Amino acid sequence: MALPTWFLPSWQELPKIPVSPFLYLIFIFSFLFAFKSIFRSRKANLPPSPPKLPIIGNLHQLGTLPHRSFQALSKKYGPVMLLHLGHAPSLVVSSADMAREVMKTHDITFSNRPRTTAADILLYGCTDIGFASYGEYWRQVRKICVLELLSLRRVQSFQYVREEEVLLLTNRIRESCLKQTSVNLSEMFFATSNNIVSRCTLGQKYEGGDGKSRFGQLARRVVVLLTAFCVRDFFPSLGWIDVLTGLIPSLKAVVREIDPFLDQVVEEHRKMRSDHDHDQPNYKKDFVDILLQLQDQDGMLDYEFTQDNLKAILLDMFLGGSETSSTTLEWLMAELIKNPNIMERAQEDVRRVVGNKLKIDENDIHQMCYLKCVLKETLRLHPPAPLLLPRETSSSVKLGGYDIPPKTKVFVNTWAIQRDPTVWERAEEFLPERFIDNPIDFRGQDFEFLPFGGGRRGCPGLIFSVAAVEYVIANILCWFDWRMPSASVHGKDHLDMGEVYGVTVSKKVPLHLVPTLHSL
C-alpha cells in the first residue's frame, strides 16, 4: 500500500549536509572491501592445512621420505590436505575415496602435470609421456607408445628377450652357487631390467667392458636428479641458487652425456633402415624404427615430431620400464627373505607348475596363482612410486567438498592409501593370502590399490613391467634356494628395510643373498 503524501518529507525540508568527494571515495572503497571479504569467506572453502612458517610454508615438515611425512600429516589433518611448499600450493590425497574423485570423477581436471626444472632440462622440455602437459601431443604419443611397445600383443612378442636375459641372469647365479658366494641381487635385477628394456626399446644392449649397461648408469643418474631439491620450483625468483648449489650444472652435464648417446642410437637405426628394405615382412622393427617411421610419414601426426621429441620418449620408456621392475623385484625378494614360510609356499607353487621341465614357459606363469598374490602384496606394501608423478589442476574444482584452485600441485599418496587400516586388515604385515580369490587388481579400477596409478595419467607400461617381474622372479624361485649371507637363524632380524626416496623408492642397503642350486 502506498504511503500518504503527508508522511513523506519534502526534499526542501531535509537539512543539507555538505559531503566532500574524499568521503565518497572512502565509502565506495569500504563497501568494495567488505563485499570482497564476504565473497571470499563464502567462496574459499579450502582443505585443512598444517600451520606454516613465513616464506617456506610447510617445507620443513617433509623430511627425507615425503610419502611417510605426508601420511603422518594426513592422520591429523585428513585425507585431503593443503600444504604450502614455498610458493607452490600442494594438495595431498590420502584415501581411496578421494583418489577416486581425482582419477575418475574429475580425471580431466586433474590430468595436467606441473613443469619442474629437472624434467624440463632432462626430458627435452617435458616432451616425453610422463611429464608432458595434458593435451593433443600427449594423447597421440601415448597412443603410439601403447600400441607399438606396451600393448599385450607387443609385450608377448618380446618374450624371447625376457627368456634370453633371464637365462644370462640364472647362469651368473649358478656360477656363484659353485663358488658358494653371495650375490648382489639389487644390482643383478637392475642390470637384467635394463637389458630387457634396452633391447625392446633401442634394439640392443649397450654394455661397457665391465658388463654394465652404459645407458642404464646414465638413466639411474637421471632418476636421482629428477627428484633432487630444486629451489626454483618452490621459489621462482631464487632460481639462481640452483646454479650455486651445482644442481643446474649437474643436470646439464647428464644431458651432455645422454644426448649424443641417443643421437648415436637414432643414427644407427637410420643407417640400418637405409641399408635394408624396412618394409619387407622379415625386417625386424624395434621401437626406434617405429618412431622414425612416424617422422618419415608426413601428416600421420598433427604436429611436427622432432628429434628431441623422439629422444624424450625413448628416455621416458627406458626410465619407466627399468626402474619400476628392478625396484619391485628387490622389495619382493626382501619380503620373502623376511618371511621364510611365504618364500617356501611361493617356491612350491612355482615348482609344482614347472615340474621336471628345464625351462619356464610364458604360459606357466599364468598358473602360478600364489606367486601372483606375492607380487600384488609386494606392490601394495612397496609401490614403486609411492606418490606417483604429481598432477596439477587445470581449473578450479570441488574435491571432497573443498574448493581446489587452478594450478594446484596434487600428490596422490598411494603408499598411505595401500596401508590404510580402515581398508586393509593387518595393513602393515606382508600377507599375500589376502589376495587369494580377491578380485582387487592393480589396473587402476580399484582405488584402494593403485601401484601404477589410474585414470588418464595411469602408467601405460603396466603390462610390460609385470611381465618382466613375473618371469624373472619365477626363475629365481624355481632354480635356487636363498638365505642371508650370515647363514644365521637370526638373519631375518638383520635385514635392513630402509628406503631411499626418488622417482621410485628403492632399498637403502642393496640386497645381498647366498643362492643354492635347487635339486629337482
Domain ranges of the chain: 117-384+419-441+460-514
Q: Which three cell numbers stand for residue 14?
A: 531535509
Neighbouring C-beta atoms of residue 62, cutoff 10 Å = 16
What's phi and psi for 183, nearest 5 deg? Answer: -125, 150
Question: Three-state SS string across 320-353, please?
Answer: HHHHHHHHHHHHHHHHHHHCHHHHHHHHHHHHHH
User: Judging by beta carbons within 10 Å of its beta carbon (0-12, 13-18, 19+), is residue 389 exposed, middle or buried?
Assistant: middle
Question: 41: how many CB neighbours lie within 10 A of its CB?
Answer: 9
Q: What is the DSSP string of 200-247?
A: HHHSS--B-TTS-BHHHHHHHHHHHHHTS--HHHH-GGGTHHHHHHTH
Q: Residue written as cell 585443512?
A: 48
The rounded distance, in Å, linking the Cα atoms of 182 and 469 is 22
Which 3-state string (H, E, C) describes 70-111? HHHHHHHHCCEEEEEECCEEEEEECCHHHHHHHHHHCCCCCC
What span, in angstroms and rounded, lies between the C-alpha atoms of 69 and 54? 20
pLDDT, position 279: 56
Please check whether residue 93 is in contact with residue 387, taking contact to mean a CB–CB distance below 8 angstroms. no
Query: Quick check: 373 and 339 in contact, CB under 8 A?
Result: no
Backbone φ and ψ for 350, nearest 5 degrees, come out as -65, -45
Q: What residues form the annotated binding site?
A: 459
In this predicted structure, what is the pLDDT of residue 280? 53
pLDDT in tens, the chain (520 residues): 444 444 334 434 434 445 455 445 444 544 454 444 444 445 679 999 999 999 999 999 999 999 999 999 999 999 999 999 999 899 999 999 999 999 999 999 999 999 999 999 999 999 999 999 999 999 999 998 998 889 999 999 999 999 999 999 999 999 999 888 999 999 999 999 999 999 999 888 877 666 667 777 888 889 889 989 999 999 999 999 999 999 999 999 999 999 999 999 999 998 887 776 555 555 567 889 888 887 776 555 667 788 999 999 999 988 888 889 999 999 999 999 999 999 999 999 999 999 999 999 989 999 999 999 999 999 999 999 999 899 999 999 999 999 999 999 999 999 999 999 999 999 999 999 999 999 999 999 999 999 999 999 999 999 999 999 999 999 999 999 999 997 544 444 579 999 998 888 999 999 999 999 997 6
Do residues 431 and 377 touch, judged by C-beta distance below 8 A? yes
Q: Are 388 and 102 in contact (CB under 8 A)?
A: no
Beta-bridged to residue 207, according to DSSP, are: 213
Neighbours of 255 (CB within 10 A): 17
pLDDT at residue number 12: 44
Please measure the distance between the N-terminal and C-terminal CA atoms of the chain and give it in whole angstroms.
104
Q: In this structure, are residues 506 and 330 in contact, taking their beta carbons and an 8 Å threshold?
A: yes
Please, which residues have CB within 8 angstroms of residue 326's CB and are 6 or more apart in sequence?
A: 186, 189, 190, 192, 193, 194, 506
- Give the residue from 468, 464, 470, 439 showing the smallest Cα distance to 349: 470
Phi, psi dihedrals of residue 100, rounded to the nearest 5° = -65, -40
The reported pLDDT for the residue numbered 503 is 83
**Of 315, 325, 371, 322, the residue nearest 344 (C-alpha):** 371
- The residue whose grid cell reads 565506495 is 28
Within 8 A by CB and 6+ apart from 451, the residues are 379, 380, 383, 384, 414, 418, 442
221 CB neighbour count, 10 Å cutoff? 16
Among candidate residues 507, 473, 273, 293, the one with its CA nearest the CA of residue 373 = 473
Q: Where are the beta strands (DSSP E) in 378-479?
A: 391-392, 397-399, 402-404, 409-412
Position 34 scores a pLDDT of 43
Annotated binding site for heme: 459
- Coil vs helix vs strand at 139: helix
Q: For the structural domain made of 117-384+419-441+460-514, what CATH number should be given?
A: 1.10.630.10
Phi, psi of 55, deg, nearest 5: 70, -60
